[in-house]
Amino acid sequence: MNISAKKYFPIFVLPTLIAFLISFAVPFIMGLALSFTQFTTVTDATFVGFDNYIKAFSEDTGFLSSLWFTVKFSLISVLSINVIAFSLALLLTRSLPGTNIFRTVFFMPNLIGGIVLGYIWQVIINGILYNFQYSITSNESFGFWGLIILMNWQMIGYMMIIYIAGIQNIPTDITEAAKVDGANSFTTLFKIIIPSVMPSITICLFLTITNSFKLFDQNLSLTAGAPSGRTEMLALNIYNTFYGRVGYEGVGQAKAVVFFIIVALISLIQLNITRRKEVES
């Protein structure tokens, strides 16, 4: 078995490995290197040391305010998405008529691309706000809540499917035993269902946190940072730094590296914490 696995390694793993190297590892290392340089295109660069990192934080390029906005956004959207998705999953795992149709319907928004969703919601939100002589750019809180609604609408269905799979995997003997022992639905939920679906919670939290932090398309098409960059999230801020000013490509790159470290750190900590709570059923 071991020998044949070795023998077939080039055939089965190599293509994926090459693809991984070309499309992930090489760009990642290049990006890291470029953050220490000044460049116009990725093939010509001059080394400038930590200059870009200093500029990224010290100058008024909106990095810190974007970071704060992103953190606020992520907190609220992660909470609301997971709570709503889990409640829906609970509802749709009961033997009610039409659950399959509802599952499909809730999942569908996830199949639409972010840019399209952003424009659709821009039209919807503006359509409502027009009645009060406002538009989505009138106030940053409109943009903020618009993004939250949009993100919820898109992600809930996906997370719901994961939770449904988790709930359906709970062995029925446990729930039946609980019922026989006289546990009410509240106790069943907190003592049996939630601990049993901990693996699903881990993955759902991971997906929502990283997706909220990395949100770009939806942000670009819904508000594009208006008014005055007050609804600009980190990814969009990096993009604007990169293309907004000659000689600032490296600063954008430096911000991207910082961004990567933040997202990686937060998701690693989250994975560690929630993994510890997982139980063997």
Partner 1 sequence: MFKKRVLSFILALISIITCLSLAGCGEKDNAAQVYFLNFKPESAAAYEELAQKYEEEKGIKVKVVTAAANTYEQTLKSEIAKTNAPTIFQVNGPIGYDAWDDYCLDIKDSQLYSFLSDKSLAIMDDGGVYAIPYVVEGYGIIYNNDILNKYFALKDRQTEINSTKEIKNFESLKTVVEDMTKHKDKLGIKGVFASTSLTTGEDWRWQTHLLNIPLYYEASQINKDTDPTLNLLDAKNIEYKYSKNFENIFDLYVNNSSTAKTLLGSKSVADSMAEFALGEVAMVQNGNWAWSQISGVKGNTVKADAIKMLPIYTGIEGEESQGICVGTENYLAINKNSTKEQQKASLDFLEWLFSSSTGKKYVTEELNFITPFNTFNEDELPDDPLAREISRYMNDNSLKSIPWVFTAMPSENYKKSIGSDLLDYVQGNKTWDDVRKTIIDKWKDESK
| 40 makes contact with partner 1 (CB under 8 A) | yes
Nearer to partner 1, 28 or 190 (CB): 28
Number of C-beta neighbours around residue 91 at 10 A: 13
Bridge partner list, 46? 38
CB atoms within 10 A of CB 3: 7
Based on the shown chain and the rule CB under 8 A, indicate whether residue 30 belongs to the binding site for partner 1.
no
Binding flag, residue 141, partner 1 (CB under 8 A):
no
Per the listing, tokens 């093939």 go with 43
Q: Where are the alpha helices (DSSP H) in 181-248?
A: 185-187, 194-196, 198-213, 217-222, 234-244
Strand ranges (E), the chain: 37-39, 45-47
- Structure token digits, residue 24: 């992930």
9 near partner 1 (CB under 8 A)? no
**Could you tell me the smallest distance in angstroms from the CB atom of residue 69 to partner 1?**
15
The Cα 232–Cα 226 span in angstroms is 7
User: Which residues in 199-228 contact partner 1 (CB under 8 A)?
Assistant: 223-228
Q: How many residues bind partner 1 (CB under 8 A)?
A: 35
Shortest Cβ distance from residue 44 to partner 1 (Å)? 7
Taking residues 94 to 133 in sequence order and writing x for each that binds partner 1 by CB under 8 A, - otherwise, the string is ----------------------------x---x---x--x
- List contacts with partner 1 (CB under 8 A): 8, 11, 15, 40-44, 59-60, 122, 126, 130, 133-139, 223-229, 240, 243-249
